[in-house]
């Protein structure tokens, strides 16, 4: 029987230890790696090729949604389980749009983690009862026009979303340029585009936007 390879990504060490203990208590399951931020999660996923990735939605440097997009682009056969403290129709829709097929609240992790990973390993979606209602009501059954409105976050490019997070975390344009491997002028241009698209006028506005959209924690 093939060993199920699982990657964990959460910026809190105690959470990672707890997740590892629960997951590795299951026969045939192995945690092949641990990441402390979204960017490291993407790198490890590319290196290790896990079957299932358990991702915290709010992580430094690259949040869980952006990490999901990049991971599934690199290894589309993988399944992603998003962990979050937040329960909202908007966030569920963004999780699904990013390509993740699993979403559980952190408060339910000890009770539902094993069941969620079991289903995802079989390429079946997993959502808690309340989240399933949100999915059915909102994402899978859009309005009469058959279209679901895209929020501001979806109108940004992937690189712009990365820059929003890094700037909101307090990094300077130069630090963002180093982190992304681009020049400062490129960051300046992206930053200007972001502010224009979102109708923001200051870094404070950008931080508020990032907190409101669960890109960073307050």
Per-residue pLDDT of the chain (218 residues; tens, 9 = 90+): 789 999 999 999 999 999 999 999 999 999 999 999 999 999 999 999 999 999 999 898 898 999 999 999 999 999 999 998 877 777 877 888 889 999 888 888 889 999 999 999 999 988 876 666 666 565 555 554 344 444 555 578 888 888 888 888 888 889 989 988 999 999 889 888 888 888 888 888 888 888 777 777 76
- Distance, CA of 19 to CA of 16 (rounded, Å): 5
Residues linked to residue 126 through DSSP beta bridges, in sequence order: 102
- Residue spans of the domains in the chain: they are 4-139, 152-212
| Residue appearing with tokens 């972001």 | 194
Beta-carbon count within 10 A of 161 CB:
22
pTM: 0.71
Residues linked to residue 29 through DSSP beta bridges, in sequence order: 4
Per DSSP, 5 falls in state E
For the domain with range 4-139, which CATH number is right: 3.40.50.720, 3.40.50.2300, 3.90.110.10, 3.40.50.300?
3.40.50.2300
- For every residue of 101-137, which 3-state class applies, written as one string? CEEEEHHHHHHHHHHHHHHHHCCCCEECHHHHHHHHH
Token representation of residue 184: 């400062």
Its CATH architecture, for the domain 152-212, is Orthogonal Bundle (1.10)
């Amino acid at each position: 029987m093939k060993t199920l390879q699982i990657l964990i990504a959460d910026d809190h060490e105690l959470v990672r230890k707890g997740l590892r203990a629960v997951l590795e208590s299951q026969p045939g399951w192995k945690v092949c790696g641990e990441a402390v931020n979204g960017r490291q999660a993407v790198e490890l996923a590319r290196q290790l090729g896990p079957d299932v990735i358990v991702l915290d939605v709010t992580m430094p440097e690259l949040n869980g949604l952006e990490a999901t997009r990049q991971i599934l682009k690199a290894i589309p056969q993988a399944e992603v389980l998003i962990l979050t403290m937040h329960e909202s129709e908007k966030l569920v829709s963004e999780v699904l749009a990013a390509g993740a097929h699993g979403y559980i609240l952190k408060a339910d992790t000890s009770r539902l983690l094993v069941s969620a990973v079991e289903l995802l390993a079989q390429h079946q979606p997993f959502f808690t009862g309340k989240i399933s209602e949100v999915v059915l009501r909102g994402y899978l059954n859009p309005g009469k026009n058959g279209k679901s409105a895209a929020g501001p976050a979806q109108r940004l490019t992937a690189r712009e979303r990365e820059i929003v997070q890094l700037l909101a975390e307090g990094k300077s344009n130069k630090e963002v340029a180093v982190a992304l491997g681009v020049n400062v002028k490129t960051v300046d241009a992206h930053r200007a585009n972001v502010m224009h698209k979102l109708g923001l006028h200051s870094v404070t506005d950008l931080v508020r936007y990032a907190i409101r959209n669960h890109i960073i924690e307050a």
